[in-house]
Amino acid sequence: MSTAPTERPSGRRQLGRALWLLLLFAAVVAGGNALAFLCDDAFIHFRYASNLRDGHGLVWNPPPWAPIDGYSSFLWSVSVWAGWVLSGVEPPQSANQVSMLQGLLLFAVVAAAAFRIRGRDGAPLPDIAVFVTLAAVAGNRTFLQWLTGGLGTSLFSLTMVAWTVLAFRAADRRGSGWLAAWSFAAAAAGLARPDGLLFAGATLAIGALDLVRGSRPRRATLLALSPLLLIAVHLGWHRWFYGEYLPNTFYAKVSAPWPEAGSRYFLSFAFEHGVFAWLPLALVWLVVEARRARGQLTASLWRQLPRVAAVAAVLVHLAYYTLRVGGDPFEYRVLSQLVPLGALSAAAMAARLRSGALVPVAVMLGLGAAASVGWVHYAYSEPKLAVYYTPVAPQLPRWLQPLWRHHDRWQAWLHMQVLCGRPRVHAQFLDGQRAIFPPRERHAYDAEDRPVIALRGVGYSGWALPDVAIVDELGLNDWVAARTPAAELGHRVLPSELLQAALAAADPDGDGSLARDDLIREFQQRTGVRQDDVAGIVDTLLLLFAGARPDALTTAEAARIEPFLADLRFMAHSRLAPGDYVAAFDPNVTIEAGRVVIRPRTAPLTGDRVRAIEAEWRRRVRDAAH
């Protein structure tokens, strides 16, 4: 897409544009509020903001515990803290408003970029095509969903999309001011998430090339790149304060490459967002542009290095989450920025293929319709906090079921490994946490005997217990736990002995076919779980492993279940604090009937004891790693 300046429209046309934009912004606000939610992990940011407000800095547990970065997004945590300090409104009530404001700024960036798109004849994209493009973004469920959530998704998308849009500024308008703005956007992206370091690196590389080529005075280039110093300062502070360059969450979530998960995560996104319709358009555009270049392709790419760098960075970012990380525990959170970028790129490519409004409007209407699959899933899916997945295909017209069954299979696989969790399910989990823990209340405790609770899965608990030290056994906020793999993850779902016995007994006539009803009967007898839940587990296994007959397993298909469970990986749940490490802190806090109960200790947990325990266990982990 090109971001050349547009001609100044007449007063009447400006008024029409303003009214349509106002309507679209109102639709974004309405849609975002309709899907608004907070997830349990949002309260991790809130606890860090609380400790910053109390003067302890961005820490999970105040001193004497060593600082730990379990928040990942420096800029978002500081935004939460600033909103609290400036408004006096606590983060659970203000975070979504702050996030929504950042999302509206994101939509404004998208709107400004859409009006700058030019066709091959240099004419601006017709207004009707611009508004159809913006409507495709404003009506996208993932875009609207992640305007809230409490995780700073809008903030990162704002910085990343702004950086990408700036990269497509027309060559004759890429002066020192442009480079300064591009550098600032890259720095903001790097502060918003560690992923943003990729865009800062790309910016620095292009700036270095400008210095070598002498594109502008050396001093002006260096000054324009100076916002990137914010990244250097932050990394230096992070290393000094936390002892590491990367956040602790990286070690807790990312281990061996996981393309099996990432590919299913991306395929699910592609299915729900019309990516399969976008790809043919991109292919046609590439062929047409290559023919137009007529041997000048290399020279053309060299002249447009910022655009090349932006496209490469976006693709590398996508590949990193697809091939290395394996997706994300949250539904399309790490891909949500592709929604506005995909819409802008589709409109720009369509405008280059043919002048006028017809092709861009047709393309955007088609892509908008293809992306409506996300709304279909939202309408027909049943949010349920369970280990099994409830398929959508059986609820749809028969002609759609074979295609959707592939999507259900991807989703079931991801669901079993704590990936791509739907926001409504995360909201249910938060409701459950709120029912267990008391409302937030400050307490004064003995400084020479620190109260401690050990929990698997923290978020709301960290907010509700601001003056209790929390050992995060799953590792997001604990150095030792984040580096300690948990064993036999899959057998937490179905113990091996139980699974083998149930499968063996589910073929009473020995014909090599394990029917659904027989599987349900045998699993229920051995687990004592409610029939509905057993049926859900069996249906998930059938969805994952059944071939020709969707209501039965062959012996060969059943044999694949045990290896699958043995290899399960639960993102953000595959680490576990050693039992002896947890016991060393002598956790003395429990929650009983919604009340905090503190057990007196025989030997007090002093600050010196806390520091000694952490130092000893960190040494053990480092020694084991070597």
pLDDT tens, position by position, 80-100: 999 999 999 999 999 999 999
Residue 127 placed within a domain: yes
Q: Per-residue pLDDT tens for 313-348?
A: 999 999 999 999 999 999 999 999 999 999 999 999
CA distance 312 to 202: 9
Domain assignment present for 185: yes
Q: How far is Cα of residue 31 from the mean position of the Cα atoms in its chain? A: 20
Residue 273 banded pLDDT, cuts 50, 70, 90: very high
Q: Return d(Cα 344, Cα 113) in angstroms, integer.
A: 8
168 located within any domain: yes
pLDDT of residue 490: 54
Judge whether 237 lies within some domain: yes
Instruction: Answer whether 29's CB lies under 8 Å from 138's CB.
Output: no
Residue 471 parent element (H or E): strand 469-472
Cα distance between residue 626 and residue 608, in whole Å: 27
In the chain, how many domains are there?
1
Domain that holds residue 344: 11-34+69-374
Distance CA 339, CA 406 (A): 22
Cα separation, 573 vs 561, whole angstroms: 21
Is the full-model pTM beyond 0.85?
yes
Q: pLDDT tens digits, residue range 182-195?
A: 999 999 999 999 99
Return the percentage of the chain with pLDDT > 70, whole number.
97
pLDDT at residue number 240: 97
Residue 520 lies in a domain: no
Residue 417 lies in a domain: no
Quick: pLDDT tens for 483-531: 998 776 555 567 888 888 999 999 888 888 999 999 999 999 888 888 8
In a domain, 316, yes or no: yes
Give pLDDT, residue 7.
56
**Percentage of residues in the chain having pLDDT higher than 90:** 79
Q: Tell me the per-residue pLDDT of 422-434, one tens digit each, with 9 for 90 and over.
A: 999 999 999 999 9
Taking the C-alpha atoms of residue 343 and residue 113, their distance in angstroms, rounded to an integer, is 11
- Tally of CA atoms within 13 A in the half-sphere of 535 that contains its CB: 6
Distances (CA, A) of 217 to 93, 212, 214: 49, 11, 7
Give the position of tokens 């309408």.
379
Q: Please, is 539 exposed, middle or buried when counting C-beta atoms within 10 Å of its C-beta (0-12, 13-18, 19+)?
A: buried
Averaged over 259-283, what is the pLDDT? 96
Q: Which range (108-117, 287-296, 440-449) has the least confidence? A: 287-296
Residue 598 domain-assigned?
no
The pLDDT confidence band at residue 33, using thresholds 50, 70 and 90, is: very high
User: Alpha carbon of 230 to those of 186, 189, 191, 233: distances in Å?
Assistant: 10, 11, 8, 5
Q: Which tokens go with 181?
A: 């703005």
Average pLDDT of the residues in 230-255: 95
**172 against 462, higher pLDDT:** 462
Is pLDDT above 60 for 458?
A: yes
Cα 527 from Cα 5, distance rounded (Å)? 67
In whole numbers, what is the pLDDT of the chain averaged over residues?
93
